[in-house]
Structure 1
Amino acid sequence: MMSFLVFISQYLFRILPFALLIIAGSPCAAQKPTFRIIDKPIIFDEERKKLSLEYLAQRHGIQQTDPTIKPKMIVLHWTAIPTLEATFDAFNPSVLPGRPDLQAASHLNTAVPFLVDRDGTIFRLLPDTTFARHCIGLNYCAIGIENIGNNDLTKAQIKANVQLVRYLKRLYNIEYLIGHYEYKDFIGTPLWKETDPNYLTGKTDPGKSFMRSVRKRVKDLNLKGSPLQAE
């Protein structure tokens, strides 16, 4: 019995390296690049927490003790800022710099949990379910993803958004995937929570072509879009 076990162990020792080479070279072994999120936190101090809770109460009519959300939706954006560094600097302060049209509603700075660079690198600015100001009427239930650029978003960004949507769908009860330009379509629905009916801004990001590309690649997730129209 002992000699048989020795024979088997020697045999496996000899063939294992070749087996590993065969497996590594096979089509099944060609793994997709690892999905990574790089943490690059923006400031979330007591002032930002206070302003977030005030925004929830005053804009959404929601009283909470923690600035968190129960996500039901993902909203895709573009930054209209050409670089990651400049975008990070814009989101980093707790208080909104400039933009008097938005300051009239709140001094809380805009932000999102996720930022996708031109090459598809994904950065996490805030924990996934931290409240962030990025989409009027829907902040309280929406996770925002910003893409560096304007109407020139890249194929790498499409791929990264698809990966990120799939990641978030696995973790949370996500029902909707929309572009920022579709947010006003939710006015009058149970999801819409904005105390001032006149507080609206015009949006075109991240572009209809970008949204079609992302939606096509996550069709199997059966995520809903605008309640008014389908693409």
Structure 2
Amino acid sequence: MPTLPPHATDAPLPYVERLEPRPLAQVDLVVVHCTELPDLATAREYGERVLYPSGTGNSGHYYIDRDGSVVRYVPEDRIAHHVRGHNPRAVGIELVNRGRWPHWLDSRHQAMDEPYPEAQVRALVALLRALAATLPALRFIAGHEDLDREQVPATDDPALLVPRKRDPGPLFPWERVLAEVPLRRLPL
């Protein structure tokens, strides 16, 4: 199992051993998400839900709470289910942020207006630096919204289309984060 960054705690999901293993040399991407849930406890509940025949569910590798605490749910040498089409090469980092919760796909509730607290951004930068120092191929970073651009019918009016994913959203401080870490945005 990869070494845990010094400022993180380990809390593996119950099904972590069922997730497909991978060589760390294939990890070249970090995907930044926000949980779009009210708190870390709810995010944990969602992460523990078994959704696939393999006995696994959807989860990022790391979760960063609003106070800057960092928890690893899935070690980097396992493929977590966090972004369609990129999981084998990516580490998923989830920032606790309510996003569009609880009306994710309602056309009237698409604003993502919760700012990311300073402690959370500092913890993210520290985690990204630690990952870049320990994962030999890590070069790129992207937001979930960069990689999943699917539009889906709105729950309040199926004639309207809304983004399936918008995270980390318009208030995420991309410029600051990119200035402080040795990663660059994934060319799309």
Match of 1:118, as an amino acid? R
Quote the residue 2:156 is aligned against. Answer: none
Structure number with the higher helix fraction is 1
The 8 Å contact of residues 33 and 94 in structure 2, kept in 1 or not, is answered as yes
d(CA) in 2 for partners of 1:112, 1:155: 21
Structure number with the higher strand fraction is 2
Q: Give per-residue Cα distances to partners, 1:1-53, cap 9 Å, x unaligned.
A: xxxxxxxxxxxxxxxxxxxxxxxxxxxxxxxxx9510111211266xx2xx45
Shift of the alpha carbon at 1:169? 0.2
SS where residue 77 of structure 1 aligns?
A: strand
Q: Calculate the TM-score normalised by the size of structure 1.
A: 0.59
Quote the residue 1:37 is aligned against. Answer: 8
d(CA) in 1 for partners of 2:37, 2:43: 6
Q: State whether structure 2 residue 157 is matched by structure 1 residue 203.
A: no
d(CA) in 2 for partners of 1:128, 1:206: 21
Pairing of 1:101-180 with structure 2 (within 5 A)? 108-149=56-97, 150=99, 151=112, 152=114, 153-172=116-135, 173-180=137-144
Q: State whether structure 2 residue 145 is matched by structure 1 residue 181.
A: yes
Structure 1 runs, 4 residues or longer, greater than 2 Å off: 67-70, 105-108
Q: State whether structure 2 residue 44 is matched by structure 1 residue 91.
A: no
Number of residue pairs matched? 152
Shift of the alpha carbon at 1:155? 1.6
Percentage identity across paired residues of the two chains: 30
Shift of the alpha carbon at 1:212? 2.7
Quote the residue 2:106 is aligned against. Answer: none
Q: Give per-residue Cα distances to partners, 1:118-154, cap 9 Å, x unaligned.
A: 1010001111221100011100000000011124221
The 8 Å contact of residues 39 and 123 in structure 1, kept in 2 or not, is answered as yes
SS where residue 140 of structure 1 aligns?
A: helix
Give unpaired runs (5+ residues) of structure 1: 1-33, 54-66, 97-102, 186-200
Match of 1:216 among 171, 179, 185: 179
Quote the residue 1:227 is aligned against. Answer: 187
Q: Give per-residue Cα distances to partners, 1:141-199, cap 9 Å, x unaligned.
A: 000000111242212111111011000000012010111111158xxxxxxxxxxxxxx
The 8 Å contact of residues 16 and 74 in structure 2, kept in 1 or not, is answered as no
The 8 Å contact of residues 129 and 143 in structure 1, kept in 2 or not, is answered as no
Give unpaired runs (5+ residues) of structure 2: 100-111, 150-162
Larger radius of gyration: 1
Match of 2:11, as an amino acid? K
SS where residue 166 of structure 1 aligns?
A: helix
